[in-house]
Structure 1
Amino acid sequence: MTLSSRVNSTISTKTALLMASSLFITTPAIAKYEYSPFKLSVAHVSTGTADVGNDGNQLKRNVWMMDLEASMSINRQWSIGASVGYDNLDYGWHVNQDSDIITASVPWDSINRYEVGLSVNYRPNKHWMFIASPKMQYAYANTASSSNARSYGLVAMGLYRYESGNSIGLGAAYLNDIEESKVVPFLAIDWQLSERWSLANPFQVGFSGPAGLELRYQLNQDWDFSVGSSRRTQRFLIENDDITVEIEEWVGFLRAGWQLSKSTSLSAYAGYYFGGEMNLSSPDITEDIENQVAGALAFDVKF
């Protein structure tokens, strides 16, 4: 769960690490994860009201996110995965003065984001795993058409697993977003620091940014707590002539996770967005976003 976005549509870094672990194990006794082929995630994020620019305009965001992932091992060396997702981003504007980014007469206040991704995973030996994940996304506001809102990309990663079970890897995401192409390098990690402490990636890698880092504390079998941060990006079409809005910001968060059963979990987040900017592609205008608090709930079920 991303506190405003998941880095969409390919298999998540966390899921990739889980699949890697399930392929690397040689006996059930050393399995670190309980593998399940399907995972359904539902999350809701709500932010506080923030000033945008210097015209007195304010923005409050509410986001619903749904994602379904599937994975399957073909043999000891090959596995495949797929994911589909839908997000609804409700942008509640209070327009004090019309600007190039937002007007009271025609506000863009609802964004739809559809995502689909595939993954191919290859394990040549007991230590190495290589992952390639193509992805496609449509992200557009209520003032634009979906036909002009397509983005696509490829995430590639090499992952090394030590005898201890710890995993670390490097990767890069090539993203051909709406009217912009970029490459995002990232670090993939799942590292047990001690019996209770571990370091891992909280987010997926893709259109919404890198994977971030999260320090976790396992209190007992049912409860864990963590603190983390990452740079996040949202880019979507607001007019059909390839006019986009991009939001870039940092998010820091505290998380409490409750393992309801072997297959279901619930996480509560308290977050803080800071260093945010909103950019309009044409004309090229950037306005600062005031720092704001956020809260989120995420429910996962594996089956």
Structure 2
Amino acid sequence: MRLSLMKTIARLCCVSAMIFGFFASPSLAQPRLGWGYQIDGLAAYQGDADLSEGGEFSASRIFLRTTALYTFQDDTSLGVSASFGRLDYNFSQANNQPWEDIRDIRVAVPLRFGVGNATTVFISPQVRWDYQSGAEASDGRTYGVFAGVAWKLNERLTIGPAFGVFSQIEDNDIDFFPALLVDWDINDRWNLNTGSGVGATQGPGLTLSYALNDTMNLAVSARYERIRFRLDDDGLAPNGVGEDKSIPVVISFGYNPNPGVSLNVFAGAELDGRLTLDDANGAELSRQSYDTAPLVGAAFRVRF
């Protein structure tokens, strides 16, 4: 019950964060006129986790994103973002090895514009390709849009609703995500937000941070991760679909030597993990949970 409630809260926050984090980060909330650029990177490692159907697995991930954003005189912003990610899975048993190398490619066109003095609207159409190395990228394509509205209630609190609507691999259903946008300066040191999280499959979730000084901070974050991907024509489910779900909870240390550079290291755990394997027709072949797994990594962001 406790994990189910945690997943619900994280999911409500996570999709909004993919919009809000991009536009509400300190240097992009009031960007200079003309072009601005951003590069994000992530490397993470998930330690061994026991699988319910036998054996164990570990996983590593790298992710790189580039963004170009143009800001007009009225503070309207329009941009394009492209990213590439790779997830490497290592299973200990050959008879329980549903997939290995997964690719994650994304292209988004974010738009932000104001309505009145205190309201901001966000719209971000996106196309994604999630597929195993050896499969056709087009077979793992999905598309959709994130959108939301945020109201600046006062100098410390910005809040509003958002949603995501996306197609699914081998599924005629539409995945709809209700969400909440939050950026709340509780006091001069504490902040609660659905801020940006590079490489997140469903958004970076909710973060509570504490400013140690002008350049360093500590934070605790939780989010809901879910990625579905097309498999190649070998293995346990030729041309099938794999899925990995979990709730990462991490504590991070951030260092921001200047407004254009951000460095973070983090450590925590993957909770409530589950791997699902479907065949090429969409029928579920297996569903197995995995134990809580250690998680460590580092991320960076450069703006110019």
Common fold: TM-score over 0.5: yes
Contact 1:11/1:117, CA 8 A, preserved across alignment: no
Gaps (5+ residues) in structure 1?
1-6, 24-32, 103-107
Counterparts of 1:130 and 1:21, CA distance in 2: 13
* Distance change in 2, residues 1:264/1:210 (3 Å): closer
Question: Which one is further off, 165-174 or 130-139?
Answer: 165-174
Structure 1 residue 11 displacement after superposition: 5.9
Q: Which has the higher helix share?
A: 2
SS in 1 for 2:259: coil
Correspondence 1:22 to 2:35: no
Q: Which residue of 2 aligns with 1:27?
A: none
* Structure 1 length-normalised TM: 0.84
Structure 1 residue 163 displacement after superposition: 3.2
Please, which of 242, 246, 250 is the counterpart of residue 249 of structure 1? 246
Question: Which one is further off, 292-301 or 233-242?
Answer: 233-242
1:10-32 Cα shifts (integer Å, max 9, x gaps): 96421212377317xxxxxxxxx
Counterparts of 1:41 and 1:205, CA distance in 2: 6
SS in 2 for 1:14: helix
1:215-271 Cα shifts (integer Å, max 9, x gaps): 110110110111121111111111367621111111111010011333112100112
Contact 1:64/1:88, CA 8 A, preserved across alignment: yes
Correspondence 1:295 to 2:296: yes
* Distance change in 2, residues 1:217/1:204 (3 Å): closer
Contact 1:175/1:207, CA 8 A, preserved across alignment: no
Contact 2:19/2:146, CA 8 A, preserved across alignment: no
Counterparts of 1:22 and 1:15, CA distance in 2: 12
Residue type of the alignment partner of 1:75: Q
Contact 1:20/1:129, CA 8 A, preserved across alignment: no
1:254-300 Cα shifts (integer Å, max 9, x gaps): 01001133311210011211111111123412111111010010011
Residue type of the alignment partner of 2:168: D
Contact 1:11/1:81, CA 8 A, preserved across alignment: no
Contact 2:85/2:199, CA 8 A, preserved across alignment: no
Correspondence 1:155 to 2:140: no
Contact 1:11/1:118, CA 8 A, preserved across alignment: no
Counterparts of 1:82 and 1:117, CA distance in 2: 6
Q: CA RMSD in A?
A: 2.6
Where do residues 115-126 of structure 1 align in structure 2 (5 Å cutoff)? 115-126=106-117
Correspondence 1:131 to 2:130: no
SS in 2 for 1:195: coil
Q: Which residue of 2 aligns with 1:72?
A: 70
* Structure 2 length-normalised TM: 0.84
Deviant stretches of 4+, over 3 Å: 18-21, 202-207, 239-242
